[in-house]
Amino acid sequence: MPQDTCILGIDPGLATLGFGAITVQESQRLTVREFGVIRTPAKCPIGDRLCTLYDDLHTLIDEIKPDRVAIEKLFFYRMSNTILVAQARGVILLVLAQVKLPYVEFTPPQVKQAITGYGKADKLEVQEAIAWELSLQTIPKPDDAADALALALTAWYLQ
């Protein structure tokens, strides 16, 4: 008998890490399970911030119990804080390896293409598509959480 599938999307970041979990029911109906952000204070040492991400991700995964995870790939030429995001991604990948969760990675244009049909869609177009697809009354906030939901949806669409 088929089971519901839970997909966790993660938008990496050191200051703000977005997460969004969706459930795909046997009937193929999509529902939002949970979304939000993990924040780390800018004034804390980087090591402490990475430890917060590590601990909070373990807690989140224990609570949500996803079947798989979707993570945004880095786009080096567009990010001014690439090294910090790469460090956060390293923590994410470590946690996923520890709990033996499979993951897929998508670039921002891949997500935009999957969600809107246009790889150069703007952020608002993507957010509106997410809200419509997940039957939400409003666009998910903050943006990092909306991005994470878009990643989870992309993982479902491109499975």
Catalytic residue, chosen from 11, 122, 125, 143, is 11
Please name the amino acid found at residue 96. L
Domains of the chain: 5-157 (3.30.420.10)
Supply the pLDDT for residue 76.
Answer: 61
11 is catalytic: yes
Supply the pLDDT for residue 77.
Answer: 53
The overall pTM is greater than 0.85: yes
Catalytic residue, chosen from 26, 55, 62, 144, is 144
The average pLDDT across 63-84 equals 83
CA distances from 106 to 25, 144, 151, 152, 159 (A): 23, 15, 7, 10, 12
Supply the pLDDT for residue 151.
Answer: 98
**Average pLDDT, rounded, for the chain:** 93
Which residues touch 68 (CB under 8 Å, ≥6 apart)? 5, 7, 8, 101, 102, 103, 104, 155
DSSP, res 15: S
CA quadruple 126, 136, 14, 65: dihedral sign: negative
122 is catalytic: no
Whether the per-residue pLDDT at 53 is higher than 80: the answer is yes
Which of the four pLDDT bands, split at 50, 70 and 90, describes residue 147?
very high
Supply the pLDDT for residue 1.
Answer: 38
143 is catalytic: no
Supply the pLDDT for residue 3.
Answer: 82
Catalytic residue, chosen from 26, 63, 72, 133, is 72
pLDDT tens per residue across span 91-143: 999 999 999 999 999 999 999 999 999 999 999 999 999 999 999 999 999 99
Alpha carbon distance 159, 38 (integer Å): 26
